[in-house]
Amino acid sequence: MKYSQYKTPIVIAICSLVLFVPFLGFAHLFDWDEINFAECAREMVLTNQYSSVQIDFLPFWEKPPLFIWLQAIAMKIFGVSAFAARLPNAICGVVTLLTVYFIGKKIYDEKFARLWVLAFAGSLLPQFYFHTGLIDPWFNLFIFLGIYHFAIYTNNYSSLSSQHFFNRSIVLAAFFIALAVLTKGPVAVLLFGICFCIWRLWKRKAIMSWKHFFLFIGIALILPSVWFLTLVAQGKGYLVQEFIAYQIRLFSTEDAGHGGSFFYHWIILFVGCFPASILAMLSLVKKVDDTPFEVHLLKFMRILFWVVLILFSIVKTKIIHYSSLCYFPITYLAAYTCYKLINGSFVWKRWMTFLVLAIGGVFSAVFTLLPFLPYFKKELINAGFFKDTFAIANLQANANWSGFEWMVGMIFIVGIFTAIYFLLNNNFSRSIPILFGTVLITTTLATVLLAPRVEEYSQGAAIEFWKDHSGASFYCETIGYKSYAQYFYGNAQPTISKNSNYIDFKKINGQRLANPLLSNSENEINIQREWMLTGVTDKPSFFICKNWFEAEVSKSYPNLEKIGSKNGFIFWKREK
């Protein structure tokens, strides 16, 4: 390859690193998921146990280990921190943008490839997720690559009868699906399987040879099976059963209160993927006149979008990032719309202008007004805008606003109106880069300037308390609500399970305190908490509850000393 062929990918890689890496540690990790995964990685590093995942030094069956391994590697290199916990996803951001560039260039050309990169980096949630410590960016990339290589295979299927058993596209598809399973679980196989079945029904003929089908199954099972068999060999086969049962429970029940309506993810994707979501709507069902290969890939993108959206609309547990795999087809369809607008094949619609102004106006208002929250929060509370006593107390936090954060909203407003001006004049070569560029810049600024302030309101007081009472000299736990912050920021140590006083307490009270509806690990955490609260301990124990649970704590545990409160969190101490 000539230097000119390397130039754009090098620019993308450098810009991505500058975009994602520098400010990863500006805000504390957010409960639950970010701190949950980071704590699993911290405990891996601390105990040198890498074969299985644990939380509070107890087996954690909810997630496979691949992403946790990546975080553990980062922590070994850079130390235990929010920066290290989020670094794997910053790297994933670089890899993802390079991936969509090379695939976009292969499907269409350089122009389309750049538009797809711009759509991905210049949409709100798709870019924001690369600044987080969540599992989903790597999971989504692996799933997408698996489905993409399968799409390449099916496009060439009629000419594969004489090819070798080890077909490159099938091997790659299976390999990436296996990595996805090791990242988040068997939902990867489910997503791939549904896409496979829909494509088979659509074509009404064979889309895969039997030899390649068994090759795919074999490769897709090998990597996850190695991990599962390792657990069984270590006498931890029960974790495999717990893992599978948890995956089933996510689909049939609301997990940890994360419920919502059927259209929850429709709204999240429409608003959160702005502006790509609006542009994608034009390409979602529109008939196109492209080459057979281009039409083939476009159909796969549409199938992937609808499969993910409908599947997780049916699933009872509703969490924002469950539908984040849709970011790939949404940004692809948005890039396709932009490509056709610039080429003159598509026409800009009035309803698109209205939606850009409406959603853009909402985000502009939020970004602009949020920094002024300290000045009008009393009026909001007095007007009854907030009903929850804990939320009202959260607003009493003295966030460290610099006074310049409102500029994020102003940049957003100016950029949106500038883009609309060129859009209405059909100057798409200017309007599209301005539109996505505006969102790219303001999302980055919001991550750096606004997210840390929001964190100070929502959990800042609790995080600072745990940091002040961290290390081996204390026991730390929550009462009445679930959190992982006490482990990560309290620097929890693996000492309780070996404590003779705890062992005696568990023998006497374990059966009484156990809940048959909970797993062994969940019951163990509850027993440990009760021991800290009422048993014979060897060092002081500190606790946090939320203000709505204060009376219950005082009544149930009169031996606790209330040592303070801040922003809705109540702090307690029990001497040994």
pLDDT tens, position by position, 5-23 = 789 999 999 999 999 999 9
* pLDDT at site 6: 84
Q: Kindly give the pairing relationship between strand 569-574 and strand 561-566.
A: antiparallel
C-alpha to C-alpha distance for 103 and 495, rounded to whole angstroms: 50
**Confidence band (pLDDT; 50, 70, 90) for 2?**
low
Q: Mean per-residue pLDDT for 216-240?
A: 81
Select the more confidently predicted residue: 248 or 483. Answer: 483
Residues 6+ apart with CB under 8 A from 132: 34, 86, 89
| CA 349 to mean position of chain CA atoms | 33
C-alpha to C-alpha distance for 301 and 303, rounded to whole angstroms: 5
Q: 3-class secondary structure for 347-386?
A: CCCHHHHHHHHHHHHHHHHHHHHHHHHHHHHHHHHHCCCC
Mind listing the pLDDT tens digit for each residue in 60-90? 888 899 999 999 999 999 999 999 999 999 9
Query: In Å, how far are 66, 362, 408, 459, 479 from 376, measured between CA atoms?
Result: 45, 18, 19, 21, 32
Q: Provide long-range contacts, Cβ within 8 A and 24+ apart, for 425-429.
A: 426/348, 428/338, 428/341, 428/342, 428/348, 429/342
**Confidence band (pLDDT; 50, 70, 90) for 230?**
confident
Tell me the sheet residues that pair with 545.
Answer: 570
Q: Mean per-residue pLDDT for 162-172?
A: 82
* pLDDT at site 63: 87
CB 366, CB 409: distance < 8 Å: yes
| CA 202 to mean position of chain CA atoms | 32
| Longest CA–CA separation in the chain, Å | 78
C-alpha to C-alpha distance for 304 and 191, rounded to whole angstroms: 8
Examine the pLDDT at 162 and tell me if it is beyond 70: no
CB 109, CB 64: distance < 8 Å: no
Q: In the structure encoding, which two tokens stand for residue 105, read together? A: 């260039």
Place of tokens 């754009």: 8
C-alpha to C-alpha distance for 472 and 335, rounded to whole angstroms: 53
**Confidence band (pLDDT; 50, 70, 90) for 215?**
very high
Examine the pLDDT at 384 and tell me if it is beyond 90: no
CB atoms within 10 A of CB 12: 20
> What is the per-residue DSSP string for 310-332?
HHHHHSS---GGGGGGGHHHHHH
C-alpha to C-alpha distance for 495 and 509, rounded to whole angstroms: 19
Mapped onto helix, strand or coil, the DSSP state of residue 105 is helix
317: left (phi over 0), alpha (psi -120 to 50) or beta: beta
The pTM assigned to this predicted structure is: 0.94
C-alpha to C-alpha distance for 426 and 420, rounded to whole angstroms: 10
Mind listing the pLDDT tens digit for each residue in 461-485? 999 999 999 888 899 999 999 999 9
Q: Mean per-residue pLDDT for 509-531?
A: 89
C-alpha to C-alpha distance for 83 and 24, rounded to whole angstroms: 5
Q: 3-class secondary structure for 155-167?
A: HCHHHCCCCCCCC
CB 84, CB 398: distance < 8 Å: no
